[in-house]
Amino acid sequence: MDWASLAGLLLGVAGILSGQALEGGHIDSLIQPAAFVIVVIGTMGAVLLQSGTATFLRGASMLRWIFVPPEDKSHDLSKEISLWSATARREGLLSLERFVESVQDGFTVKGLRLIVDGIDPYKIREILDVDISTYERRERQAIKIWEAAGGYAPTIGILGAVLGLIQVMENLTDPSKLGGGIAVAFVATIYGVGLANLVFLPISNKLKTIVADEVRRREMLADVFCSVANGDNARVIEERILAYR
pLDDT digits (tens, 9 = 90+) for 142-154: 999 999 999 999 9
CA pair distance 189, 177, nearest whole angstrom: 20
Instruction: Give 117-135 pLDDT, tens digit per residue.
Output: 888 888 988 999 999 999 9
148 and 229 part of one domain: yes
- In this prediction, residue 129 carries a pLDDT of 92
78 and 175 part of one domain: yes
> Is a pLDDT exceeding 80 seen at residue 202?
yes
Mean pLDDT in residue range 96-124: 85
107 and 216 part of one domain: yes
CA pair distance 185, 158, nearest whole angstrom: 8
Where b means 16+ CB within 10 Å and e means fewer, 85-122 reads bebbeeeebeebeebeeeeeeebbebbbebbbeebebe
Q: State the angle between helix axes of 201-230 and 106-116 in degrees (0 to 180), rounded to the nearest 10.
A: 20
124 and 87 part of one domain: yes
50 and 20 part of one domain: no
Which residue has better confidence, 124 or 84? 124
23 and 136 part of one domain: no
53 and 2 part of one domain: no
Q: Output the CA torsion sign for 50, 204, 42, 53.
A: positive
Instruction: Give 16-41 pLDDT, tens digit per residue.
Output: 777 767 766 667 667 778 888 889 99
> Is a pLDDT exceeding 70 seen at residue 48?
yes
The answer to whether the CB of 59 falls within 8 A of the CB of 143 is yes
- In this prediction, residue 237 carries a pLDDT of 74
> Average pLDDT of the chain?
83
Instruction: Give 158-188 pLDDT, tens digit per residue.
Output: 888 887 777 777 666 666 665 656 766 788 8
pLDDT over 70 percentage in the chain: 89
CA pair distance 89, 86, nearest whole angstrom: 5
14 and 93 part of one domain: no
7 and 59 part of one domain: no
11 and 131 part of one domain: no
14 and 39 part of one domain: no
Question: What's the total number of domains in the chain?
Answer: 2
pLDDT category at 102 given cuts 50, 70, 90 is confident
Strands (E), the chain: none
Give residue 41's domain range. Answer: 32-243
38 and 139 part of one domain: yes
